[in-house]
Structure formats: structure tokens, C-alpha cells
């Protein structure tokens, strides 16, 4: 079992970005960063890493077909070793969360539970899996803001709502891409029940909702830089969701690159939020 496999299975890019997002949430709540606030990034990175590892533990049979290169199906990490590793990551994140605030610790405990529930069951349940990932992604802002108290959490509510809606849209389109693989793995997703076309329509509606909510911080919060920056991001998000709107097959959704365009728009939004919070 190599060190690189133990790093790779955590999807470090994912965990690091999530950790940085928690700092953005604290930045939005307070306008500054302090040495203790850096703990937020460590907690989120560890718990996200734990979520990614436990996800691979429960997905091992699907990944043997779809992603044989991943550490467990490739034999680089044993299933038992991965279970212990995931537990250590979750425990580490929660123990460090005890050094933050009771509200942050509560969110860390809830999110660890949701990540495990997602891996065990929610992922294979229509819409609930999408909502779980969207909640987890949006909650990162709430977690960062919560380090500054309930007021800090409230200040991040609109960003959490924007992120939730955009992530639902992207997760639905990811499911529309993966209908065949998910069916083979025994999952039940919205595209399987309602079809790719209706899923695309619902995803586009969620993206439109995210765009509308993204205008809320303008005015009483952030000024013209934010409006100009988020307007560009909104166009990218709408374009990405529109690309998936006309599709009726999983192949069409894959060829549309809708989920990649949405991912790019989501990360661009992160940059706009971070800059708007400090200028
Ligand atoms: C309308 C509008 C402005 C939408 C943007 C919404 C927004 C601010 C989204 C930010 C999402 C984001 C990148 C959050 C960072 C925290 C996090 C959970 C990162 C983990 O990476 C998520 C990544 O998308 C997973 O990639 P993949 O494996 O390809 O699904
Ligand atoms: C705020 C705190 C304390 C924690 C936040 C926890 C976070 C941000 C989690 C990241 C959000 C996220 C990306 C969750 C999804 C978990 C996951 C591993 C999804 C992968 O799902 P699959 O559908 O199996 O797709 P793959 O093919 O990528 O495995
Ligand atoms: Mg998986």
C-alpha cells in the first residue's frame, strides 16, 4: 500500500478546495482571516477526505467496472484498510472541530453523518443523493461563517443557497450522463424515473434559481465589481445548463460538456466571492 494511493483516494483537489471555501465563508462573515480560522480549512479538508474514502469503499463494485484505476479496485489499498483510513479522517476532523465553536462542531458532526449516509444509501436514492451533495457543498460556506457565530452563518445563507441550487443542477446532469453505469450498480436516479429530457429541464430550472439568488448580495453587501463578476459567471452557468436542456440521451449530455461548463462556472463564482469579500 503506497503513500500516493492514500493521498489519491482522498481526492486532494476536492478536499483542498472545500477547505479553502470554508475560509471564504469566514472571510465573508468577518472581512478577515485569523490564525484560529485556519482550523476551519483543516476540519473541512479532513472530513471531505473521509467522505471521499468511504465513498470509494461502498462504490468498489461499481468502480471495478467504471473506474478500475481507483486505489481500492486497483489493489493499492485494501477494503479494510480504507475503512480504517476513512474512520481516522472523520475522527481527526471532528476532534479538531472541538477546538472551533459548538455550532461548527455540530455542522461537522451532521456533515460527517450525511457523507456516510450518502455512501451507504442516499447516492442510490432518486433526488435524495443530489440534495445531499448539494447541501454538503453549500454547507461549507455556513460552516466557515459559523466560526463567527450565528450572525456569520446567516451572512452566508445566500451563498449557500446559490451553491445548493447550482450543485443540484450539476448533480442531476451528472446522473443523466451516468444512467447506464448507475443502473448496472443498482442505483435509482431521477433520469431513470423521469427521463433525461425532464431531468435536464429540472436542472435548468435549478440553475435559473441559482442565478436569481446570486443577485441578492448585490447592493446591501457587495458593489459593482460583484455585479459585473457574477453576471459573467451567471452566463456561464446558464449556458452550461442550457447545453443539457435539449438532450434526451445520456450520450448527448456527455457530449454537451454541460457538467464541465457548470463546474468551471462554480469555481469562477468562488473566485468572485473571495475577491468581493476583501475589496
Ligand atoms: C449561479 C452561480 C453563481 C453558481 C455558483 C455556485 C457556487 C458558488 C458554487 C461553488 C461550488 C464549489 C466549487 C464549492 C467548493 C467546495 C467543494 C465542495 C468543493 C469540492 O469540489 C466539488 C467539485 O465540483 C467536485 O468535482 P467532481 O468530482 O467533478 O464532481
Ligand atoms: C463543512 C464540513 C465540516 C464538511 C463539508 C463536507 C464537504 C464539503 C463535502 C464535499 C461535498 C462533496 C463533493 C460531497 C460528495 C461526496 C462524494 C465522494 C461524491 C462522489 O460521489 P459519486 O457519485 O460516487 O461519484 P464518483 O464517481 O466521483 O465517486
Ligand atoms: Mg463514488
CB of 14 sitting under 6 A from ligand 1 = yes
Phi, psi of 90 (to 5 degrees): -65, -45
Task: Give the CA distances from residue 107 to residues 101, 146, 155, 266, in Å, rounded to whole numbers and listed in that order.
Answer: 10, 9, 16, 22
What is the rounded distance in angstroms from the CA atom of residue 237 to the CA atom of residue 245?
12
Chain CA centroid to CA 58, Å: 18
Whether 277 contacts 24, CB under 8 Å: yes
DSSP type of residue 216? T
Structure confidence at residue 181 (pLDDT): 78
What is the rounded distance in angstroms from the CA atom of residue 77 to the CA atom of residue 57?
10
Whether 150 contacts 103, CB under 8 Å: yes
Structure confidence at residue 192 (pLDDT): 93
Residues in contact with ligand 2 by the CB-under-6-Å rule are 14, 18, 43-44, 47-48, 51-52, 55, 59, 107-108, 111, 118, 123, 133, 136-137, 139-140, 143
Q: Three cell numbers at 7?
A: 493521498
Expressed in angstroms and rounded, the spacing between residue 263 Cα and the centre of ligand 1 is: 6
CB of 182 sitting under 6 A from ligand 1 = no
Structure confidence at residue 240 (pLDDT): 97
Whether 143 contacts 27, CB under 8 Å: no
- Looking from the CA of residue 259, the nearest atom of ligand 1 is 29
Expressed in angstroms and rounded, the spacing between residue 238 Cα and the centre of ligand 1 is: 15
CB of 22 sitting under 6 A from ligand 1 = no
Structure confidence at residue 1 (pLDDT): 67
- Nearest ligand to the C-alpha atom of residue 14: 1
* Alpha helix ranges (H) inside 98-223: 102-120, 128-146, 150-155, 157-177, 179-184, 190-194, 196-213
Q: Each residue's pLDDT tens digit in the chain (279 positions)?
A: 689 999 999 999 999 999 999 999 999 999 999 999 999 999 999 999 999 999 999 999 888 887 899 999 999 999 999 999 999 999 999 999 999 999 999 999 999 999 999 999 999 888 999 999 999 999 999 999 999 999 999 999 999 999 999 999 999 999 999 888 788 778 889 999 999 999 999 999 999 999 999 999 887 778 888 999 999 999 999 999 999 999 999 999 999 999 999 999 999 999 999 999 888
Structure confidence at residue 47 (pLDDT): 98
What is the rounded distance in angstroms from the CA atom of residue 264 to the CA atom of residue 78?
34
Q: Whose CA is nearest to atom 2 of ligand 2?
A: 44
Among left, alpha and beta (phi > 0; psi -120 to 50; other), residue 149 is left
Whether 33 contacts 42, CB under 8 Å: no
Among left, alpha and beta (phi > 0; psi -120 to 50; other), residue 86 is alpha
ipTM of the complex: 0.93
CB of 211 sitting under 6 A from ligand 1 = yes
Q: Three cell numbers at 183?
A: 443502473
Structure confidence at residue 187 (pLDDT): 82
Pocket test for ligand 2, best of 119, 140, 180 (most atoms within 8 A of CB): 140
Expressed in angstroms and rounded, the spacing between residue 221 Cα and the centre of ligand 3 is: 38
Structure confidence at residue 182 (pLDDT): 80
Amino acid at each position: 500500500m503506497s503513500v500516493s494511493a492514500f493521498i489519491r483516494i482522498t481526492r486532494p483537489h476536492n478536499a483542498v478546495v472545500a477547505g479553502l471555501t470554508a475560509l471564504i465563508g469566514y472571510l465573508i462573515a468577518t472581512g478577515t482571516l485569523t490564525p484560529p480560522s485556519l482550523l476551519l480549512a483543516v476540519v473541512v479538508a479532513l472530513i471531505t477526505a473521509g467522505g471521499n474514502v468511504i465513498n470509494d469503499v461502498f462504490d468498489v463494485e461499481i468502480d471495478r467496472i467504471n473506474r478500475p484505476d481507483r486505489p481500492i479496485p486497483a489493489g493499492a489499498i485494501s477494503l479494510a484498510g480504507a475503512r480504517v483510513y476513512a474512520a481516522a479522517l472523520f475522527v481527526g476532523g471532528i476532534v479538531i472541530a472541538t477546538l472551533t465553536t459548538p455550532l461548527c462542531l455540530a455542522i461537522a458532526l451532521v456533515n460527517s453523518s450525511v457523507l456516510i449516509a450518502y455512501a451507504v444509501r442516499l447516492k442510490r436514492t432518486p433526488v435524495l443523493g443530489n440534495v445531499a451533495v448539494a447541501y454538503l457543498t453549500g454547507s461549507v460556506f455556513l460552516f466557515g461563517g459559523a466560526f463567527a457565530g450565528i450572525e456569520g452563518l446567516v451572512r452566508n445563507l445566500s451563498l449557500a443557497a446559490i451553491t445548493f441550487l447550482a450543485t443540484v443542477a450539476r448533480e442531476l446532469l451528472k446522473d443523466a450522463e451516468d444512467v447506464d453505469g448507475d443502473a448496472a450498480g443498482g442505483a435509482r436516479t431521477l433520469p431513470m424515473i423521469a427521463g433525461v429530457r425532464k431531468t435536464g429541464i429540472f436542472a435548468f430550472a435549478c440553475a435559473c434559481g441559482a442565478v436569481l439568488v446570486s443577485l441578492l448580495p448585490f447592493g446591501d453587501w457587495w458593489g459593482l465589481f460583484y455585479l459585473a463578476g457574477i453576471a459573467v459567471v451567471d452566463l456561464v452557468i446558464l449556458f452550461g445548463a442550457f447545453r443539457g436542456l435539449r438532450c434526451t440521451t445520456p450520450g448527448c449530455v456527455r457530449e454537451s460538456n454541460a457538467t464541465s461548463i457548470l463546474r468551471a462556472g462554480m469555481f469562477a463564482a468562488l473566485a468572485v466571492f473571495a475577491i468581493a469579500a476583501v475589496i
